[in-house]
Amino acid sequence: MGEAAYAFIDYLVAGSQSLWQVLPLGPTSYGDSPYQSLSAFAGNTNLISFDKLRKLGWLTDDDLADLPDFPTYSVDYGPVIEYHQQKLTRAYQQFQKNANAGYRQAFQKWCKQEAFWLEDFVLFFALKNENGGKPWVEWDNEDEALYQPEALEAARERLADQINFNRFTQWLFFAQWDELKTYANQKGVSIIGDIPIFVAHDSADVWANKRFFYLDPKGNPTVIAGVPPDYFSKTGQRWGNPLYRWETLKKEGYDWWIKRVQAILKLVDIVRIDHFRAFEDYWEIPASEETAVKGEWVKGPNVDFFKVLEAALGDLPIIAEDLGEITEEVEILRDTLDLPGMKIIQFAWSDPDNEFLPHNYKTQNCVAYSGTHDNNTVMGWWMGEGSEGQKAFVEAYVGKKVIEPHWEMIRLGMMSIASMFVAPLQDVFGFGEDTRMNTPGKEQGNWGWRFSADWLEKREPLERLKHLTHVYGRHPHTVNKNRI
């Protein structure tokens, strides 16, 4: 969240862009997936800017003189996390020693304000570290794993300094993110965030709220989330997330969910709900199954849930991720709530009736994408996954020989009636398969790509993006208000 992040916002503005979509911002664990976070509320402290801490006097030039030679275009998570923890520990020590009364009061005020999730998370994270990073069901002290009050009180005393350090790093994350979001908003850029409908089993959320999930007496899931066999996988996707006891949540007025949505809307302006269809029905897999092939569809909370959310929070700026196997009932729920769905242009090339072809969009109330984090890049698809028939269809559709498929997909999204269009940065730069963010069903080797800030100096992609934005009336100052 340092200078490069602000430079990226400036880059968006220079290219007439008014939306920046980000992946979930929570702390990651095994597999590095932002969709398997240690908390639905906490922030990823690896994003904290050390330069900002240096300006505050909590880190020095000497503290940062030993920066390792990290890879430029990928994240080596283990060493990165270790390095960040060392430097944040140093910043915490200096904060305790040197911070003025204003910063100390701001820290205490924030901790009190966020206590409803923060206190569980900081204790959970301290205990997880004390247990060598093992999932909570494998902790040495079963009473701590099962959230027994006496054991937790003793742990709070034993780990008091580590717990306060965890509070401190969370405060830094949220303070720095708030500054960054404020800057983006002042520049006319809205941030689209992401709520994974399910939470990770190894998370503070499940550990501290077992009543909301289908678990056995030891805390292990009895049934888990996923999707049946589809485009991405012949054996389906076995995500492993515990499933909600929706009736229990309903009895408590969906209070936990209200707080969760309220929290994300402090961080972002619009929120994409990942796997939206699970609010209508979801694929329930016995936890004993090794794949997602055997399972059954189970009804979710449907419109009742959203009525409670709206009553508590008002109009919800939500994008419904309605991809995959979608039933008429899911479409009815989406349309009843008047939520925009998603149109992925890379999925469009089967036949003229394909719903993802721009001429088949039935409403402006949708968001078009050249691809998502789960897709190959457009260039990666064109050079590898796409069949000759699909590529011939693309050329027939655009009426010419395709030389730059990524720009053709971006143009099609821009010219569509969709109220919003989003392209992954890889597609703007024309990057190949080696920059793909995630391959669903693949447990390791995902989420590692990053771009170097020097790419922001390349003006040609920026000018082309700006040109198409103006040609198709998507410039933030001239856009037809009927499209929003």
Active site residues: 274, 321, 374
Report H helices in 187-288.
Answer: 204-208, 246-251, 255-267
DSSP 409-453: HHHHHHHSS-SEEE--HHHHHT--GGG----TT--SS-S-B---G
> Which residues have a Cβ under 8 Å from the Cβ of 86 and sit 6 or more positions away?
none
DSSP 213: B
Give the count of alpha carbons within 13 A of 405, CB side only: 25
Burial pattern 393-407, b for ≥16 Cβ within 10 A else e, equals bbeebeeeebeebbb
Reduced to 3 states (helix: H, G, I; strand: E, B; else coil), residue 244 is strand
E-assigned strands of 339-385?
Answer: 341-344, 366-369
> How many angstroms separate the CA atoms of 136 and 148, rounded?
13
**Residue 240: φ, ψ to 5°:** 90, -5
Q: Please say whether the dihedral angle defined by the alpha carbons of residues 345, 350, 356 and 357, taken in this order, is positive or negative.
A: positive
Q: Which residue type is seen at 295?
A: G
Which ranges of 296-451 does DSSP label H, i.e. alpha helix?
302-313, 328-336, 378-380, 388-398, 405-415, 425-429
Dihedral sign, Cα of residue 312, residue 261, residue 84, residue 23? negative
DSSP 74-135: B--HHHHHHHHHHHHHHHHHHHHHH--HHHHHHHHHHHHHTHHHHHHHHHHHHHHHHTTT--
In whole angstroms, what is the distance from residue 463 CA to residue 280 CA?
42
Q: Are 12 and 21 in contact (CB under 8 A)?
A: no
Sign of the Cα pseudo-torsion (52, 56, 61, 64, in order) = negative
